[in-house]
Amino acid sequence: MSRIKQTNNKNIKKKKKKSIGFKILMGFLAILIASIAIGGGYLYGLFFKLDNVKLDTKDLGISSTEEFSKYNNYKDIKNIALFGVDAEDGGAGRSDSMMIVTIDPVHNKLKVTSLMRDSYVNIDGHGMDKLNHAYAFGGPQLAIKTINENFGLNVEDFATVNFSSLPVIIDILGGLDLEINDEELQYINSYIDSLNGLEGTSAPNITYSGSQHLNGIQALAYSRIRYTAGGDYERTQRHRIVLTALFEKLSSTSTTSYPSILNSLLPHVQTNLTAGNILSLGTNVLGVGNGALVQDRFPRDGFGEGTTIDGIYYLSYDKDATIKQVRDYIFDDK
């Protein structure tokens, strides 16, 4: 019985995380679109601050054209992978948040597809493992290939944001108001001290529990606490708390501040998209602006189940059924 309850809690946690991730994504899309409107040529120059990387387009695991050809106008539908990583100490990091943003002018929709990070998938060169491990093994190249091969997609573009870059944005917005409980207070200052040493900052320690106004380093330290009784579950919950507070701050920020936010954020974004690509995509998003904004999650309920292998939790799923569902949703709007 306890195992069933634990699995249900995992599902609840993932659904909440998807909802928050969706809000954060929409917040950044709003910043992009508004900035295009008010930034003009100045904004175009900002996009050259992106960490631009090239992908080997011949090694992205994309299925043959014949498999997509039954979907009318599929070439007009654009899919972009979004990865949220928490890479500490300069490591590649696991992609704890994975979404596919679909700009669909055929059905006049903007779609967001969340992929379960614990999905039990085949990772080229590494065998069966969790989906989110692909990014740590081989960066965006292997992560996209793994998504394409295991979910039947044709993704060629990506954008990655490191959770470690959030202090920059948080400080621009003037900090966040968060609640620190007594147990968290026992651990947060060691994380603050560690981040100060790594970043060359001097964020002060927290001296009492309760409501706190935290700067960027303090908020990141809070999100990384992992030794409380709730373990990783509470750690991911703290991630959601920080992201929710950040979204609320972004929502109340004047659009005239967006270019300044982008100026600080873009150097922390890695992508294969060029400045011209991004502005073109922004125009396409505006083109479907009057259409529906929809989201889904895969594997869908009923087509996957939690399983433990060698003491590690995975989400196994019906691969053939899921590939059909993903393609029908993205390309045929079913």
pLDDT per residue as tens digits for the range 98-131: 888 888 888 888 888 888 888 999 999 999 999 9
Domain ranges within the chain, ordered by starting residue: 2-165+255-332, 174-251
Which CATH code for domain 174-251? 3.40.630.190
Q: What number is the average pLDDT over the span 299-320? A: 93
What is the per-residue pLDDT for 329? 94
Q: Are strands 304-309 and 312-317 parallel, antiparallel or unpaired?
A: antiparallel
| Percent of the chain predicted with pLDDT > 70 | 79
Contact of 164 with 86, CB cutoff 8 Å: yes
Q: What's the rounded Cα separation, in Å, for the pair 202 and 200?
A: 7
Pick the more confident residue, 117 or 322: 322
Structural tokens at position 305 = 């189940």
pLDDT at 181 over 70: yes
pLDDT at 29 over 60: no
CATH fold, domain 2-165+255-332, is Nucleotidyltransferase; domain 5 (3.30.420)
CA angle 128, 131, 132 (to 5 degrees): 130
Pick the more confident residue, 124 or 47: 124
Pick the more confident residue, 303 or 274: 303
Contact of 59 with 66, CB cutoff 8 Å: no
What is the per-residue pLDDT for 296? 85
CA angle 304, 305, 306 (to 5 degrees): 135
Structural tokens at position 226 = 């992992």
What is the per-residue pLDDT for 191? 94
The residue to which tokens 């433990």 are assigned: 308
